[in-house]
Chains A and B, each alone.
Chain A
């Protein structure tokens, strides 16, 4: 019975493993396959939490907690933060562009996985000692003893590494201005000299029903002007076009008014309006797609 316990887990842990393992693999697959990187990040966070549970189950209590605090907490938050910087709505096309890349990746991945698992299966890892003895004075206590004696140099080195990484992060993300920024007066002078946009740029949302910064202002003819939106949004393709919404809303309002007043709408005209709105909506979707690409 004792010998068996050495390499057999309790049935409770077995059940926990089989259930959570499925979710962990699903999360991993989700990380790889989700189109939106935000979804990928959330899947990864789920997998990491499950791994934390596995750590706890394996007797690594300290690591389990650290996994949640550092990985799921700090590192994933950092990921999400950068995702916000880059643009959260952007989606990736999963279409492969490098010839043969996917086949090679699949071949290598499958071969690698099979070989690894075969190696583990072959290794005859029957002898599980369990951590009962090692964890006797407490898991954290045991780890601390090792870290500050046997691994003290590695520990110090990782400290240095962390500091270096922090400095590197600052250096890399800090934008060095190599030349003096133009003052407003100089910018105005330049504009006059070049003859472009001598007056200030038009504000976004003008003549539109929304005042949000991501909505382009309308020109007198009803079309949108990209100039009104800030460059970052333009580059990300995150301009919302609501020019047709206003028209549609007006039409709907007029219809509601007519219904309220008991007037019959002109069926032909309404039909025409709807068709036009639908067509423009499709166009809009197309443009949006292209911009994303």
Chain B
């Protein structure tokens, strides 16, 4: 069984190598090869999963040591895998959703002449992401971490002929680098603290390291998670990342890669448990991002960017839950999995709509599409109901548990974070309803494209609709299945630990569930009042200051520009000034002084041997004088 773990990564890696090196002869079959290998990897995952189910909870983890990568004295970097329940969850999510999206891409990228390369990149991403989640030490995790960063860069900039795509790719890469820096520092700190970076020893000995060390490591890990998971303050790249093809947005920037930060935090739970300050920081980041993403999502007219804001917000939920400690880890992962289903489904639905509407992304130019694209409408609608937390769909369960866990923290923190989560639920309902209404309901606001043709909306091909249907089914059923007899909690408990929180006095579980549903209904109702009853203007109205800011992603780029770019420019300028005036001044001044003195001194060097002899002789006299003087003293 252990050897299968390596094959999990090897299959998509082989696909990437073959597709990227294979050349044009694979142009016609390459996409099927890539898809097949993704499904093969999924099959390996299923085999491993059934094998794992056959064991009892404590002994499910598998270990596989492949080879020793960098053995230098005490520094032992191994290529070794660890497949426990947490990794297994991710493996199934990644390979499952990944395979479906491969299948979807076959149809979506049909007319793209570089489709083979696209599938190579997708396979590369799968391999890197799998490596990230099954690594048994932080260094190997870092390899996967950088691998998905690379794949993300390549895929966002896949349509590199568009300057916006090329810029977005670079932006994503650079912002991610900031987070990667945090991860590398965290790994170095771990090595100096624990002498190793394998999960086992590090997490087992975490409590011995002392709180300040753990806080430092925790904050660095949080920085890493912020970069990869698009959390405030490193969130700015996710919106622009939507320049990539829609399957990429669905796979990487909604379902899998952006959740790597949550994985990192949950995996390092032992470290965060010992560092309350770092945990608080995680919660604050999660709560802020939750509202940030939701507000941005309300104002966007670009369907994909709206979904990107939503993704940011939902990952904020997960990060918030991960910050709560053992109460929240399980629910963070549960929400992550359900989110993987419905958000991937929503993105694929959005891609399907764009496919039918001549790649138009502005929702104000949609309207009334439900008759023309019934399958898309139904799958998108189910995903919509799941994300807003419609009772008994998967989002309902996972989000409800999250809100409960937030309140269960107790004290002021519990109230604040719980209220934020509730408010977030209301806003989620609002913007998702808005999206739904603007796209599928109301009157047609279709505009001719640049060729002057009105779009002819049509249902997408089977390769695209089948994944959507499967994902919609997952969106509907996953939460219910997970919650049946607290199945998911028992599944993950051996890895992440779990404790039942106690809600503060006036609250109880039905009350919170009721509030969540009420918040959802309020959000839906408000959206219906604003967008359902009245016709949607084809040109965005000016709106108030908040709307204006939200359309500009709450000024994230402006803040970055003012703080980082301008600041950097000023810093550089002052450094250049310093360099010119002070450093060069000192250097040139010294040189000029030495030069001037030398110019005078060189007159001594008149070239006459006899002059030199005089100085030698004088020196000898001085030496004798010194000797005599020292003897006399």
Residue of A nearest to B629 (CB): A115
Query: What mask results when residues 613 to 633 of chain B are scored 1 for a CB within 8 Å of chain A, else 0?
Result: 010011011001101100000
Q: Is B606 an interface residue (CB 8 A)?
A: yes
With a CB–CB cut-off of 8 A, which chain A residues contact B602? Answer: none
Given A115-B628, A119-B628, A122-B628, A108–B610 Cβ distance below 8 Å? Answer: no
B614 touches A116 (CB 8 A): no
Q: Is A105 an interface residue (CB 8 A)?
A: yes
Given A98-B608, A98-B611, A101-B610, A108–B621 Cβ distance below 8 Å? Answer: yes
B617 touches A108 (CB 8 A): yes
Complex Cα spacing A119 to B628, Å:
7
CB distance from A118 to the nearest CB of B (A): 7
Q: Which of B610, B621, B624 has the most CB of A within 10 A?
A: B621
With a CB–CB cut-off of 8 A, which chain A residues contact B620? Answer: 112
Q: Is A109 an interface residue (CB 8 A)?
A: yes
- Of B610, B618, B628, the residue contacting A118 (CB under 8 A) is B628
CB distance from B334 to the nearest CB of A (A): 91
Q: Which of B614, B625, B628 has the most CB of A within 10 A?
A: B614
CB distance from B629 to the nearest CB of A (A): 10
Query: What mask results when residues 103 to 145 of chain A are scored 1 for a CB within 8 Å of chain B, else 0?
Result: 0110011011001101100100000000000000000000000
Complex Cα spacing A116 to B627, Å:
11
Query: What mask results when residues 21 to 61 of chain A are scored 1 for a CB within 8 Å of chain B, else 0?
Result: 00000000000000000000000000000000000000000
Query: What mask results when residues 405 to 429 of chain B are scored 1 for a CB within 8 Å of chain A, else 0?
Result: 0000000000000000000000000
A104 touches B606 (CB 8 A): no
CB distance from B624 to the nearest CB of A (A): 5
A98 touches B610 (CB 8 A): yes
B610 touches A112 (CB 8 A): no
Complex Cα spacing A122 to B608, Å:
36
With a CB–CB cut-off of 8 A, which chain A residues contact B627? Answer: 119
A115 touches B624 (CB 8 A): yes
B 368-398 contacts with A by CB, 8 A? none
B614 touches A101 (CB 8 A): yes
Complex Cα spacing A105 to B611, Å:
9
With a CB–CB cut-off of 8 A, which chain A residues contact B610? Answer: 98, 101, 105
Query: What mask results when residues 170 to 212 of chain A are scored 1 for a CB within 8 Å of chain B, else 0?
Result: 0000000000000000000000000000000000000000000
Residue of B nearest to A109 (CB): B617
With a CB–CB cut-off of 8 A, which chain A residues contact B617? Answer: 105, 108-109, 112
With a CB–CB cut-off of 8 A, which chain B residues contact A111? Answer: 621, 625
With a CB–CB cut-off of 8 A, which chain B residues contact A98? Answer: 606, 608, 610-611
Complex Cα spacing A26 to B312, Å:
107
Complex Cα spacing A175 to B624, Å:
44
- Of B611, B621, B624, B628, the residue contacting A101 (CB under 8 A) is B611
Complex Cα spacing A40 to B628, Å:
34
Complex Cα spacing A97 to B152, Å:
83
A104 touches B614 (CB 8 A): yes
With a CB–CB cut-off of 8 A, which chain A residues contact B606? Answer: 98
With a CB–CB cut-off of 8 A, which chain B residues contact A109? Answer: 617
Q: Could you pull out 17 A-B pairs where Cβ atoms are within 8 angstroms?
A: A98-B608, A98-B611, A101-B608, A104-B618, A105-B610, A108-B614, A109-B617, A111-B621, A112-B617, A112-B621, A112-B624, A115-B624, A115-B628, A118-B628, A119-B624, A119-B627, A119-B628
Q: A98-B606, A98-B610 are in contact. List 15 more A-B contacts (CB 8 A).
A: A101-B608, A101-B614, A104-B614, A105-B610, A105-B614, A105-B617, A108-B618, A111-B625, A112-B617, A115-B621, A115-B625, A115-B628, A118-B628, A119-B624, A119-B627
Among all A-B residue pairs, the 10 with the closest Cβ atoms: A112-B621, A108-B618, A108-B617, A115-B624, A104-B614, A111-B621, A119-B628, A98-B608, A115-B625, A108-B621
By a beta-carbon cutoff of 8 Å, the part of chain A in contact with chain B is: 98, 101, 104-105, 108-109, 111-112, 115-116, 118-119, 122
